[in-house]
């Protein structure tokens, strides 16, 4: 399952869809929506998020197990450095391995101070590179302390993330280098909204991986894609989310459409997003779709 996913990532069109488990003790609603829309037949894998924005949600690894067993599709489970020390990280990896959840998206995590839980403190024993290094150890049959496992874990496939935009492109290039150096097979960007920016990101990424001759030379950039259908979403991303650049032209078009009502606003936003999706596919057909569980919108984009 995972070997085929990585092969597709390296050689073919590759589409993944993010799922965000909710603030409830089940993901059956997510599974039902995906099933009704037959989205599992339109993507190569799913991802599960890990308490994004430090808000309490259903566990990402357990969600991955349930999705994977239901749809027989690989799931990339996100693990954040914010909520776990080295012991917990490795314990979760061992348990996930037993249930064949073996694709892991390593995140540093949003700051604990923005959590919805009172007096929450972050762990942060390291950034996401630490988790990538731990995975490297597991794949060698040892834990992070160098102690050999009696039973070697099944291979784990690490992924990482990066910003999609920076005023100084060299900072992005350094991050690409770090993720590749620490063994990420795929690096997912934050949402990209400009094809020219996508081309620049791909050029920088390929420059970095070209320095290697081993497995790292096969690392792939994956464009983050977030369809925008509302003016307030575009404005929020542009104003409050670092590492993302929403073109002024998008905001202007959505502003004009907003004056003509919600339906027009959606139509204009969808048209912009659908066009961008097709352009990204033509540049580099490796895309991670994020819709904040708006699965009907994901279905429209993929139809």
* pLDDT for residue 83: 94
pLDDT band with cut points at 50, 70 and 90 for residue 241: confident
Asked if pLDDT for residue 7 goes beyond 90, the answer is: yes
pLDDT at 134: 98
| pLDDT score for 64 | 98
Residue 259 pLDDT exceeds 90: yes
Mean pLDDT of 114-121: 93
Q: What average pLDDT does the segment 170-174 reach?
A: 93
Per-residue model confidence (pLDDT) at position 240? 85
pLDDT tens by residue, 58-83: 999 999 999 999 999 999 999 999 99
CA pseudo-torsion sign 203, 208, 213, 215: negative
Confidence grade of residue 213 (pLDDT, cut at 50, 70, 90): confident
Does residue 294 carry a pLDDT above 90? yes
pLDDT band with cut points at 50, 70 and 90 for residue 167 = confident
Percent of the chain past pLDDT 70, that is, above it, reads 100
For residue 86, what pLDDT band results from cuts at 50, 70 and 90?
very high
Which residue, chain included where needed, has tokens 């390593």? 106
- CATH number attached to the domain at 2-227+285-295: 3.20.20.220
Query: 282 pLDDT exceeds 90?
Result: yes
For the chain, the structural domain boundaries read: 2-227+285-295
What number is the average pLDDT over the span 282-297? 97
What pLDDT was estimated at residue 214? 87
Q: What percent of the chain has pLDDT over 90?
A: 94
């Amino acid at each position: 399952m995972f070997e085929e996913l990585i092969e597709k990532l390296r050689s073919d069109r590759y589409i993944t869809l993010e799922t965000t488990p909710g603030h409830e003790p089940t993901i059956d609603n997510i599974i039902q929506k995906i099933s009704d829309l037959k989205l599992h037949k339109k993507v190569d894998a799913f991802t599960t998020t890990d308490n994004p924005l430090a808000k309490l949600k259903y566990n990402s690894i357990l969600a991955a197990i349930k999705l994977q067993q239901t749809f027989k599709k690989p799931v990339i489970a996100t693990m954040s450095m914010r909520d776990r020390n080295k012991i917990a990280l490795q314990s979760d990896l061992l348990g996930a391995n037993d249930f064949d959840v073996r694709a892991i998206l390593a995140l540093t995590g949003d700051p604990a101070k923005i959590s919805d839980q009172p007096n929450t403190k972050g762990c942060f024993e390291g950034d996401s590179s630490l988790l990538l290094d731990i995975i490297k150890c597991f794949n060698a049959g040892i834990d992070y302390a160098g102690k050999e496992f009696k039973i070697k874990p099944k291979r784990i496939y690490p992924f990482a993330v990066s910003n999609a935009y920076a005023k100084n492109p060299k900072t992005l290039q350094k991050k690409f280098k770090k993720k590749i150096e620490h063994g990420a097979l795929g690096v997912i960007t934050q949402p990209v909204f400009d094809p020219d920016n996508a081309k620049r990101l791909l050029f920088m990424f390929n420059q970095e991986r070209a320095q290697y001759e081993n497995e790292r030379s096969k690392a792939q950039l994956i464009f983050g894609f977030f369809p925008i259908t509302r003016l307030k979403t575009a404005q929020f991303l542009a104003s409050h989310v670092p590492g993302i650049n929403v073109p002024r032209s998008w905001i202007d078009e959505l502003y004009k459409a907003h004056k003509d009502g919600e339906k027009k606003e959606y139509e204009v936003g969808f048209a912009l997003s659908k066009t961008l999706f097709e352009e990204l596919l033509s540049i580099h057909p490796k895309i991670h779709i994020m819709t904040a569980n708006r699965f009907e919108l994901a279905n429209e984009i993929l139809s």
